[in-house]
């Protein structure tokens, strides 16, 4: 199972020096993946904890690709309706190219009404816009020559397509995964809650002639109780979960280092 950690690209923890130090600490500590989140326009009355400060996720990962060498880089999740397809596909291909193929792309439809309003995007079309972006990115990574709005152009660089992990509840995400995705990013890391959905998704992909899904929940392991954390990881692995994103809070590099050390202890004994 891949063990990832959420790197805070928001609030005071997103200061450049701290961001780099934490990324290097995670890589040196043997973790598999670093993940960042996506918000673009936080309203003042919903800014507690971040003060409205969010770094763009893809720009952040491009930066981290230059200061790390091995660790995977992911977004949990990129809100597809916020972004135009062609420039977004170009940025994703660029990060994948510059990182040496380390990108994993969570993709979601979004939920925050204020952000849709600030962008001038119809929230009611978020599903349609998400499918449009996913379909277009498949075209871009499949062939050097792509057509958009009747215009042919060359999509280069064209590295290996990163895996697309669809966020959201099973009822809304599974059809999108079968059509466009490689896996699922649920917001619940409880084995009992995931067992039946993972079985259903695996069966649906098998029926579509596709391999078993990547399943990487955003969760919080009980790192203050290592045996319980190990039991949770083992139970998740048993039902087909392929990785986790641990979303622990930290104030500074020391706090982040403690999370990394605890995750290493958990996996060493699992």
Would you list the domain boundaries of the chain? 2-269
pLDDT over 70 percentage in the chain:
99
Nearest to 115, CA basis, from 52, 184, 35: 52
pLDDT at 171: 86
CA dist list (Å): 74 to 109, 146, 203: 17, 25, 26
pLDDT at 36: 98
Q: Is the pLDDT of residue 250 over 70?
A: yes
Q: 31-73 pLDDT, tens per residue?
A: 999 999 999 999 999 999 999 999 999 999 999 999 999 999 9
On average, the pLDDT of the chain sits at 97
pLDDT at 150: 98
**8 A C-beta contact, residue 173 and residue 134:** no
Q: 90-116 pLDDT, tens per residue?
A: 999 999 999 999 999 999 999 999 999
pLDDT at 203: 98
Residue 87: CB partners within 8 Å, gap ≥ 6? none
- Residue 269 confidence class, pLDDT cut points 50, 70, 90: low
Q: 170-228 pLDDT, tens per residue?
A: 888 999 999 999 999 999 999 999 999 999 999 999 999 999 999 999 999 999 999 99
Q: 9-20 pLDDT, tens per residue?
A: 999 999 999 999
Q: 216-234 pLDDT, tens per residue?
A: 999 999 999 999 999 999 9
Burial letters 47-73, b for 16+ CB under 10 A, else e: eeebeeebbebbebbbbbbeebeebbb
pLDDT over 90 percentage in the chain:
98
pLDDT at 235: 98
DSSP 8-state class, residue 225: S
Which fold does the domain 2-269 belong to in CATH? TIM Barrel (3.20.20)
DSSP 8-state class, residue 29: T
pLDDT at 230: 97
**8 A C-beta contact, residue 251 and residue 13:** yes
Q: 128-146 pLDDT, tens per residue?
A: 999 999 999 999 999 999 9
CA distance 189 to 233: 9
CA distance 128 to 149: 17
Q: Is the pLDDT of residue 270 over 70?
A: no
pLDDT at 245: 98
């Amino acid at each position: 199972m891949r063990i990832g950690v959420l790197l805070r690209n928001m609030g005071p923890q997103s200061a450049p020096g701290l961001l780099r130090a934490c990324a290097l600490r995670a890589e040196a500590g043997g973790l598999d993946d670093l993940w960042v989140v996506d918000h673009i326009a936080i309203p003042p009355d919903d800014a507690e904890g971040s003060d409205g400060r969010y770094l763009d996720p893809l720009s952040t990962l491009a930066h981290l690709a230059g200061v790390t060498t091995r660790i995977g880089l992911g977004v949990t999740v990129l809100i597809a309706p916020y972004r135009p397809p062609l420039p977004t596909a170009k940025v994703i291909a660029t990060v994948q190219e510059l990182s040496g193929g380390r990108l994993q792309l969570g993709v979601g439809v979004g939920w925050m009404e204020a952000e849709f309003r600030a962008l001038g995007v119809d929230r009611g079309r978020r599903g349609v816009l998400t499918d449009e972006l996913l379909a277009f990115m498949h075209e871009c990574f499949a062939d050097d020559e792509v057509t958009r709005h009747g215009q042919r152009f060359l999509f280069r660089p064209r590295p290996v397509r990163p895996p697309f992990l669809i966020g959201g509840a099973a009822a809304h995400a599974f059809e999108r995964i079968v059509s466009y995705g490689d896996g699922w990013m649920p917001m619940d890391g409880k084995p009992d809650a995931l067992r039946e959905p993972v079985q259903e998704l695996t069966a649906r992909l098998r029926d579509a002639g596709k391999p078993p899904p990547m399943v990487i929940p955003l969760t919080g392991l009980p790192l203050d109780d290592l045996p319980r954390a190990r039991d949770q990881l083992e139970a998740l692995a048993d039902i087909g979960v392929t990785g986790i994103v641990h979303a622990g809070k930290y104030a500074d590099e020391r706090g982040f280092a403690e999370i990394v050390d605890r995750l290493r202890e958990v996996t060493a004994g699992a």
